[in-house]
Every structure is written in structure tokens, then in C-alpha cells.
Chain A
Amino acid sequence: MLIEKHMAKHLLVYILCILVFSTIGCSYVKPVSVYDEQMDKGITALQKNTEEVLLMIETYQGKVESTYEYHRAYYRQAIIDVSSLKIRAEAIQEDNLSTKMLEQLLNNIIRFEKDHIEGIAANEVDLYRGGFNSQFTALLSLELAKKRIK
């Protein structure tokens, strides 16, 4: 009887530990929301559009096709698209990592626009391309990781 009581107590402690462990685990991973196909598609489309602009700046130096005015519509749409993805990400889950990452992408699009207004040389394009691609890859990699888990 005493031995059975001891085993039952031991078992209860163990089960409580597992429940606490799993609860802590669940709240610890809260900053990562669920996979969103719209984010996946949105970022992929934005990467393509951004690359088109970068390529034209690089290829058509000194010509109208490399100027800010020629690509003004890209900036307008890119800001709208990223803002829209941010709102969506926040609606899915407050204060999550994807929202912060999109905020950083938006900051860089605005900075890219400012620099483009002043003029961007062909030998600078790879810097923007590399920075943007790192951000796009980061966003997509995280979405794909969420897709695998969920």
C-alpha cells in the first residue's frame, strides 16, 4: 500500500512536469505565427518586381529606364503590398516576428526609393540586390519552416 502510494505520487509529479514543460514550450514559441500562403505569394511577387527594377537600373544607366520617375509606380505598389502583408500578419497573430521583418523590409524599400531619387550607379545595384534578397529569403524561409511544422 505504501509502495503503491509512493509510485502514484511519483507518477503525478512526473505528469505535472510534462504538462508544465509542454505549456512553457507552447508559450515560449508564441512569437511565431502559422503559415500564411498570402505571405509566401506576396513576398515572391515582390522579389520579382524588385529584381526587375534593379536590373533596369543596372542595364540602362544614363537612360530614362534607370530613373526613379520611370519606376515610380513600383515604389507605390511595393509600399502598399508590404503594408498590406504587415496588417495581415498582425491580424493573424499580434506582435509576431513576421510583422517585425516586414517593417524592416518596408524601411529598406523607403530607403531604396530615397536613394533612387538621388540617383543609383550600376556598381551599387548588387548591394541593394543582396540586401533585399537576404530579406526576401529570410521571410520565405520562415514561412516554409512554419509550413513544415504545421
Chain B
Amino acid sequence: MSINANEVVTQMLKAAKQVFAEKWPETQRYAESEITLFTERFIDIEKLRMSGEITEARAKSHIEFQKQSWQTVLLAIQGMSLLLVEEAITAALNAVKDMINTAVGFALL
């Protein structure tokens, strides 16, 4: 039994796109929300410094604190994106599993 290469590509892409369409917006919303929060905090640090309520040294400490925190968020986004890629690959392979296995005559996938 022959395999239609175009059909395999189409099915795999469709399955992968579906995963991204469903799951990526959640990661995107999370990233956007955190960007807003960090921006507000940096503005607050500046306000406290300009009003003299905190020293320059303390302001720098706050900035470093927020930078560490922001890096943690970026790593989480990186991790969630990698998991999304894994899920998309799995979905793509599952979409063509029966087609491939039938063609080769054994459970290759």
C-alpha cells in the first residue's frame, strides 16, 4: 500500500498546528501579564527612589531582585514552549501512526 506523502505532511502539520492554536495563547497571555507586572514594579522602584523613600543602593537591590524574578519567568516560558513543541510532535506522529503502520505492515510508530 502506498503512502501519499502530501497527505502525511498535511495531517502532521494540521495536528501540530491544532496543539499550538489551543495551547500557545495561554502561554502568550501569561508572558504578557508578567511583562505588565514587571513594568509596573520598575516604575514603582523609580518613584520610591525619586521621592527619597529609598536609597540608591536599595533601589539597585530592588532592580536586581526583579531581574532575578524576571529571569525565572522567562525560563518558565521557555519550558512551557518546549513542552508545547513536544506535545505538537507527539500529536503529529499520532495523526499519521495508523497510516504509516498499515503501509509498513508492523507497528513502526
A residues sitting closer than 8 Å to B (CB atoms) are 7, 10-11, 14-15, 18, 21-22, 25-26, 28-29, 31-32, 97-98, 100-101, 104-105, 107-108, 111-112, 114-115, 118, 121, 123-124, 126-128, 130-132, 134-135, 137-139, 141-142, 145-146, 149
Cβ contact within 8 Å between B82 and A123: no
Residue of B nearest to A24 (CB): B89
Q: A18-B93, A112-B65 are in contact. List 18 more A-B contacts (CB 8 A).
A: A11-B3, A11-B103, A15-B100, A18-B109, A26-B89, A29-B85, A97-B75, A97-B76, A97-B78, A97-B79, A114-B61, A124-B54, A126-B44, A127-B41, A134-B70, A134-B72, A137-B73, A138-B72
Cβ contact within 8 Å between A14 and B3: yes
Return 28 A-B CB contacts under 8 Å, by A number.
A18-B96, A25-B85, A25-B86, A29-B86, A32-B79, A32-B83, A97-B78, A104-B68, A104-B69, A105-B72, A111-B65, A114-B61, A115-B61, A121-B54, A124-B48, A127-B62, A127-B65, A130-B69, A131-B68, A134-B34, A134-B37, A135-B68, A135-B72, A138-B34, A139-B72, A141-B76, A145-B80, A145-B83
- A7: chain B residues within 8 A (beta carbon): 2
Residue of A nearest to B74 (CB): A138
- A98: chain B residues within 8 A (beta carbon): 79
* Number of A-B residue pairs having CB atoms within 8 Å of each other in the complex: 127
**Is the C-beta of B50 less than 8 angstroms from some C-beta in chain A?**
no
Measured in the bound complex, the distance between the Cα atoms of B102 and A11 in whole Å is 12
Measured in the bound complex, the distance between the Cα atoms of B87 and A29 in whole Å is 10
Cβ contact within 8 Å between B64 and A111: yes
- B83: chain A residues within 8 A (beta carbon): 29, 32, 145-146, 149
* Shortest 10 CB-CB contacts between residues of A and residues of B: A138-B76, A25-B89, A131-B69, A29-B86, A135-B72, A97-B79, A142-B79, A29-B82, A104-B72, A142-B76
Cβ contact within 8 Å between A111 and B72: no
Cβ contact within 8 Å between B79 and A31: yes
Cβ contact within 8 Å between A130 and B62: no
**Is the C-beta of B107 less than 8 angstroms from some C-beta in chain A?**
no
Residue of B nearest to A112 (CB): B65
Measured in the bound complex, the distance between the Cα atoms of B92 and A25 in whole Å is 11
Cβ contact within 8 Å between A127 and B58: no
